[in-house]
Structure 1
Amino acid sequence: MSQQTAYVVKDKRLTLTGDLTVQSISKLFKNNAWVGEGVIEEIDCSLVTSADSSCLALILFLQAKAVNKIRVYALPEDLSGLIDLYELAPLLSASKS
């Protein structure tokens, strides 16, 4: 991934950083086996500078693979708006802070 976009997986927590667009998210999907394994329990978005609907698709995909609701922290405003628009709040345990 580029220097502007990165991720770290540690202890079932996914930390996302930078600009999360369809290009960076598609690379993440293609290059990481953990994406489909249902191992993520928390997602930290505190270092995300911008995100589009592909980032929301990643979160929903990971949620579909997970046993319990994934906790999403520091959700960016762009994603909060999409979650509200598509009425997805019941599927996620998300907070803006």
Structure 2
Amino acid sequence: METLAEVAEGLRSLRAELGLTQAQLAERASVPRVTLARMETASQGDMSVATLLRLLEATGREMTFTRRAGHSRTLEDILAEQRQAGRTGR
């Protein structure tokens, strides 16, 4: 998933897959139903990671991070580039 819209769709699909209503999932996660509804539509343009994690926990799922194919720059690479740019006056 790369966009908030994709996260919202994934959350909505997960809830539907489990056969839960918004009210049921919100209650399980102890979040307001309106918050879940906003997250499922990405209507606020942003999501609380803490709330997303609570919702995922309530569904028995977790979030993981994976490396993108072809994306190999590390933090060390970026810092080295910044140090080099500082030395050359760029």
TM-score range, shorter chain: under 0.3
Normalising by structure 1, report the TM-score: 0.23
Larger Rg over CA atoms? 2
Q: Which structure: greater strand fraction?
A: 1
Higher helix share: 2
TM-score (norm 2): 0.24
